[in-house]
Structure 1
Amino acid sequence: MKQTTVFRQLIYNIVFPVVITLILLGVYNFRNTRIILREGSQTRNFLISDEITQVLKFQDVTLLVLEDNLNPMLGQVSSKLIVNYFSSTKNIDKANLVQIRNELKLDPSLYDIYIIDTNGVVVNTTFTKDLGLNFFSFGEEHKSLIKKIFKEGEFKSEKFTLEASTRRLKKYTYQPTLDGKYIIELGVYSSTADEIVNIIKGTLDELNKKEKSIVSAELFMNADDPFSLTRTDEIAAEEKDYIKQRFDKRDSSLIEKKVANRHLSYQYFFMDSRNSDLYKGSVIKIVSDRTSEIKDEYVRLFSFVIIFIAVLVLIITHIYRQTRNITNPIRKLVHNVNRIADGNLSERAEVAGNNEITTLSQKFNVMIEQLEELYTDLDKKVKERTAQVVAQKEEIETQRDELEKHRDQLAEQQKHIMDSITYAKRLQTAILPTDEYIKDLFPEYFIVFHPKDVVSGDIYWFNQLNGKRYFSAIDCTGHGVPGAMVSMVGHNWLEYAVKDLKLERPVDILGALNEGVTSTFKEKDEDGAVKDGMDLAL
């Protein structure tokens, strides 16, 4: 084992555990602080999203009031178009919708008329940019809405929704023609609705200014083809797919990226909306700059490391100075111990000072004196004991030779016994009936015979007389050789009862067997009689 020092032991046993504990505490504190800051940032974003949500709810309430005023008028206009102008849809795609709008005294800056066929295509409109536009291409929500209106055949007033091309709130109404081949759509802007959109945009701008860490806050509409309320540029394909996932899963998520040395946090919140059959919800995106937070985290970590190293150096220096006062006397004592260990028992430790080391040196000197005396006595006793061991060795070797001789004799005797038992096995096997003999008596038979020892106290017996067939299973007293001898007696008397006495009834055969076995084992006095016998079924 590699030798160490007291100073190293103190470092290993005290300083290292303290250092590891402090490091773990520092890591835990750093991670915990980062989690708290991140949770704080997320909570702030949740509050911001909640504020936007409240603004949108206020928008819904305001728009409901506005729609209550518009719906009756729009219903009347739509009915006039269906009944007065398009009761016949022949040449509806060539009708002068601008003139019709003027006749109905509709403000051109606020009202547009659309004619949509069953394929979702705009075949005629006052808004020429949308001529030929296919509503089905806007996504499943638009397609489902158009088909539903054709199927129901009734006037449908949609809630105000955000128009993707203009970023303005626009209200749409739909009503199929009398023949069900077209839909008359009215599109209506409202200055009041425009003010509501501006309020929402202003709220988003104020959030950016109020929170320094907020880079931007955006509102996205339309699950099939998302667009931003505040941005007019095209959304990147990757981000658009991600926003679609939020619409599909109706959940919130967080993404962190490093862009141009800035740590940005992108948090998305889905907001449900039941006020429209067209747009079933919206997604709020809040981008936060966490660069300063992360920088502060690493500044705190660096400060902790510097303080930790400084404290560690002070502790190690203090321990080193204190251990020198302890280790110098111990080093001298170790030097003396090494000389004594080399065989110089006359060496004595230096006794100086008045502390535990002094006491240890005194006791050590006393121990060495006693050890020197013991060593002298031990050397004398070892020589005496060596002579005794040599004598005992010779005696043990003699006894070993004698035991080996007896072992060889026992092995020879065991061999003779096993040869006799093997021969007895052949004799017992010889008296048992052969398979051919048994098969002649009983063509269909089986025998289960598993002797416990080489020879068995259990046998089976078969015979026949005057057309009668006999078989018996016999369990004799004892196992091995004694049981085999009893079985030989039983076999012979069964053979005698059938072949010589010509007995046919089992009761007569068993009686003869009983008398024969009893007479065979009977001796002169009762006390010496053999108690062996057998159980059998005949």
Structure 2
Amino acid sequence: MGLIILAIFSYRNTRTILNTNNLTEQDFIYEEIKSFIELELVALSIIEEPMEQQMHNYSETLIEDYFKNTQNIENLDLLQIRDELEMDNELFDLYVINRDGIVVNTTFKEDLYINFFSFGYAHKNYLLDIFANKKFDSPRFFFEHKTKRYKKYCYQPTNDGKYIIEIGLYSAQADKIYNYTITHLGEIPQKKPNLTSVDIFFYADKPYPLNLKREFIPAHIPLIDDLLHGKMITIGHAENGSGHINYTYFFLKDLNPKIFSGTIIRISNDPASQEHFIRKEKLKISLVLLFSLLLVFFLIYNRAKAIVFPIYDLIDKTKIIANGNYRERVNEDGHNEIATLSKNFNKMVNNIEERNNEIEEQSEFLYQVNRKLNEAYKLLDHQKNLLENKQDDLTASLNYAHRIQESLLPAPEEFTELFPESFVYILPRDIVSGDFYWYSKINNQIVVVASDCTGHGVPGAFMSMIGMTILHHLVNYEYITDPALILSRLDIEINDLLVYKNHHEQRFEGMDASVCTIDLDTNEMKFASAQRPIMLLRDGKAITFKGSIYPIGEYYDNIQKIFSNTTIPLLENDSVYMFSDGYTSQFNETGEKKFNFGRFRQLLTDINRRPLKEQPVIIQRTFEAWKGNSEQIDDILIVGFKYNKLKHKKTYSAKDLLED
């Protein structure tokens, strides 16, 4: 009777241990997959950040420059627009979505006329929110089933609210993450014999599989409601031709839900191998029990002690082991059936202990990784706050300096009164600029100056204020309008201001400048410059005038700087362009080429037929297309005006007023 009880107890205890091990293994798999998915999301978010800024820039350009008028938007050639914006046609796709959620124009022809509202309520409500909020938005990476690749999307409504412009962008790094994810999920069942598969589904209002070969079982759809409330559900399901499979479902909530609210994890477990092991153990125990009963029948007296004591020991050690102390072992002395059972039981306990140790080691490893990640996140957040505070202080100071510099610059509106067809295009590299323009009208002579000071930012801004102050005194108080004399006096004044203790030491602080004086009586323009050319556009042809090779302010030992005038007769509708070297020095996005003077000359020739008020827009658009995502390297100044033989009001300088 005792042997029967022992066999039943051993069988039940074996089954309990196996079930406990399955639950422990299941929890470990859940934590492993959860950590893996969280790391995957962190990796994808790192990739997304620069992509989102690039897509935002392209989206703004499309909305403001190409789709400002949406009357013919459904028939526009999006392939040509993509090429004009120099978007990589292997990575970027453009979509135009109407208010019914239908793709009415796209570069990805497989999606043409597809209805996004049919993807489900979550997708539909998200697009309707884009229309309602009238703002740019970009959710996390979405798996595109047609190409089997991760794809980053952004959405922004047109200004009239009739369409949404969608940009799709692939990423080679995201492809690697996806391939690694699929490979890793496929390797997990290989390490754990009871498992058949581990699957991931993105959930909006229905599950979307990450692996197209693994569909969500329709009969399990009703379980989703409980999963969303944090429950873990295990359910059996009969597979065609493959027996009975147990499915365990978990739900990971997305911390920043937009289209998808989270991720469903499905672990498929085949109980057949476990049941086979239990049946084998049951048969083994039954055989041992039968043989033992026969021995007891014949040798009950002589072998009573040899049987009862090992059974008691086995029962005691089984209880200890069942409570989690896997270091205990059953006594294996003897050569009877109980000893054999004890050895097999000890082998089973050894396997359980090894598996338990592996789980503890992996849990400790994951804990240490998580702790180090938290420390790194805290350090990065602290450094980010420090940099933001310093950036705010620096920006405030530069903004204040910008307001001071703006107050000294002449107003472009007053320049338009002198030349009705004119523009001033100034684009600082930083908030304040080292490039400046200046003008003044003395009797019937107009003096126009375009200058490029040494450096940019704050040092350049200081030099520009010095230059404007000296020019104001020379022209408006000393009544000097001769360009060569203005440059000579400007060079002397700056050298006197920036005097060095060692007069023979070479100095590089100063500026390049071009000066034009237009005589309204003679219809002539005198031009002189310090290292800066000007360009005259006449009858569609560009004529370049160069000046002196010497700059203003730089010290040259034993060299006398000479600035000379060039007299240019002006004809009706002649266009004059004065500029710094910032535009021509700009590198393209790859950093391999500069815009250079030849491209700049061709640009001015091409836009000269357009009204001057429209030319700055074309200049800006051309600059952004050339620069791409690269940094602006210098301040930019371009002054353009068209000469017309108009009557100008006579203005008086300070010197005129004093003489009167």
TM-score by length of 1: 0.51
Deviation at 1:257, TM superposition (A): 4.5
Paired amino acid for 2:201 = F
Return the alpha-carbon distance in structure 1 between the equivalents of residues 202 and 114 of structure 2: 20
Equivalence for 1:170 = 151
Q: Answer yes or no: is 1:121 the counterpart of 2:132.
A: no
Return the alpha-carbon distance in structure 2 between the equivalents of residues 68 and 318 of structure 1: 80
Equivalence for 1:279 = 260
- Which range moves more in the overlay, 305-314 or 105-114? 305-314
In structure 1, the residue corresponding to 2:34 is in which secondary structure? helix
Equivalence for 1:256 = 236
Equivalent pairs: percent with the same residue?
Answer: 36
- Which range moves more in the overlay, 96-105 or 60-69? 60-69
Q: Answer yes or no: is 1:106 the counterpart of 2:92.
A: no
Q: Answer yes or no: is 1:191 the counterpart of 2:195.
A: no
Deviation at 1:314, TM superposition (A): 5.1
Q: 1:201 to 1:318 in 2, by over 3 A?
A: closer
Deviation at 1:293, TM superposition (A): 1.9
Of the candidates 198, 210, 217, which is equivalent to residue 229 of structure 1?
A: 210
Q: 1:296 to 1:116 in 2, by over 3 A?
A: same
Return the alpha-carbon distance in structure 1 between the equivalents of residues 199 and 242 of structure 2: 23
Return the alpha-carbon distance in structure 2 between the equivalents of residues 60 and 203 of structure 1: 15
Deviation at 1:192, TM superposition (A): 0.8
Paired amino acid for 1:295 = H
Gaps of 5+ in 1: 1-18, 321-538
Deviation at 1:88, TM superposition (A): 1.5
Return the alpha-carbon distance in structure 1 between the equivalents of residues 45 and 63 of structure 2: 26
Contact 1:257 1:264 in 2 (8 A): yes
Return the alpha-carbon distance in structure 1 between the equivalents of residues 223 and 120 of structure 2: 15
Deviation at 1:84, TM superposition (A): 0.6
Contact 1:262 1:290 in 2 (8 A): no
After superposition, what is the alpha-carbon deviation per residue over 1:240-296, rounded to whole angstroms, capped at 9, x for unaligned?
A: x25744654443221235654755332222222224411121112222333232112
Q: 1:316 to 1:31 in 2, by over 3 A?
A: same
Deviation at 1:193, TM superposition (A): 0.6
Contact 2:103 2:112 in 1 (8 A): yes
In structure 2, the residue corresponding to 1:107 is in which secondary structure? coil
Return the alpha-carbon distance in structure 2 between the equivalents of residues 263 and 190 of structure 1: 40
Equivalence for 1:182 = 163
Deviation at 1:42, TM superposition (A): 3.1
Return the alpha-carbon distance in structure 2 between the equivalents of residues 316 and 46 of structure 1: 47
Q: 1:170 to 1:288 in 2, by over 3 A?
A: same
Q: 1:160 to 1:243 in 2, by over 3 A?
A: farther
Paired amino acid for 2:89 = P
Q: 1:280 to 1:132 in 2, by over 3 A?
A: same
Equivalence for 1:149 = 130
Return the alpha-carbon distance in structure 2 between the equivalents of residues 233 and 269 of structure 1: 16
Equivalence for 1:238 = 219
Contact 2:203 2:264 in 1 (8 A): no
Contact 1:247 1:282 in 2 (8 A): no
Q: 1:261 to 1:82 in 2, by over 3 A?
A: closer
Of the candidates 67, 75, 80, which is equivalent to residue 94 of structure 1?
A: 75
Contact 2:95 2:106 in 1 (8 A): yes
Aligned-residue RMSD, C-alpha = 2.7
Return the alpha-carbon distance in structure 2 between the equivalents of residues 281 and 55 of structure 1: 15
Equivalence for 1:40 = 21
After superposition, what is the alpha-carbon deviation per residue over 1:416-473, rounded to whole angstroms, capped at 9, x for unaligned?
A: xxxxxxxxxxxxxxxxxxxxxxxxxxxxxxxxxxxxxxxxxxxxxxxxxxxxxxxxxx
Could you say which structure has the larger radius of gyration? Answer: 1
After superposition, what is the alpha-carbon deviation per residue over 1:338-378, rounded to whole angstroms, capped at 9, x for unaligned?
A: xxxxxxxxxxxxxxxxxxxxxxxxxxxxxxxxxxxxxxxxx
Deviation at 1:155, TM superposition (A): 0.9
Equivalence for 1:300 = 281
Paired amino acid for 2:286 = V
Return the alpha-carbon distance in structure 2 between the equivalents of residues 280 and 197 of structure 1: 20
Of the candidates 7, 31, 55, which is equivalent to residue 50 of structure 1?
A: 31
Contact 1:243 1:283 in 2 (8 A): no
Deviation at 1:174, TM superposition (A): 0.9
Of the candidates 119, 123, 135, which is equivalent to residue 138 of structure 1?
A: 119
Of the candidates 61, 79, 86, which is equivalent to residue 80 of structure 1?
A: 61
Q: Answer yes or no: is 1:290 the counterpart of 2:271.
A: yes
Contact 1:223 1:248 in 2 (8 A): no
Contact 1:216 1:286 in 2 (8 A): yes
Contact 1:266 1:286 in 2 (8 A): yes
In structure 2, the residue corresponding to 1:264 is in which secondary structure? strand
Contact 1:219 1:230 in 2 (8 A): yes
Deviation at 1:234, TM superposition (A): 5.4
Contact 1:162 1:221 in 2 (8 A): no
Return the alpha-carbon distance in structure 1 between the equivalents of residues 242 and 88 of structure 2: 52
Return the alpha-carbon distance in structure 2 between the equivalents of residues 126 and 162 of structure 1: 18
After superposition, what is the alpha-carbon deviation per residue over 1:369-405, rounded to whole angstroms, capped at 9, x for unaligned?
A: xxxxxxxxxxxxxxxxxxxxxxxxxxxxxxxxxxxxx
Gaps of 5+ in 2: 302-660
Q: Superposed, which structure 2 residues align to 1:346-365 within 5 Å?
A: none
Paired amino acid for 2:232 = S
Return the alpha-carbon distance in structure 2 between the equivalents of residues 225 and 319 of structure 1: 67
Deviation at 1:27, TM superposition (A): 3.8
Return the alpha-carbon distance in structure 2 between the equivalents of residues 303 and 166 of structure 1: 54
Return the alpha-carbon distance in structure 1 between the equivalents of residues 215 and 71 of structure 2: 40
Which of the two has greater strand per residue?
A: 2
Return the alpha-carbon distance in structure 1 between the equivalents of residues 9 and 18 of structure 2: 14
- Which range moves more in the overlay, 308-317 or 265-274? 308-317
Return the alpha-carbon distance in structure 2 between the equivalents of residues 311 and 82 of structure 1: 87
Deviation at 1:79, TM superposition (A): 0.6
Paired amino acid for 1:307 = V
Contact 2:194 2:274 in 1 (8 A): no
Deviation at 1:152, TM superposition (A): 0.9
Number of residue pairs matched by the alignment? 301
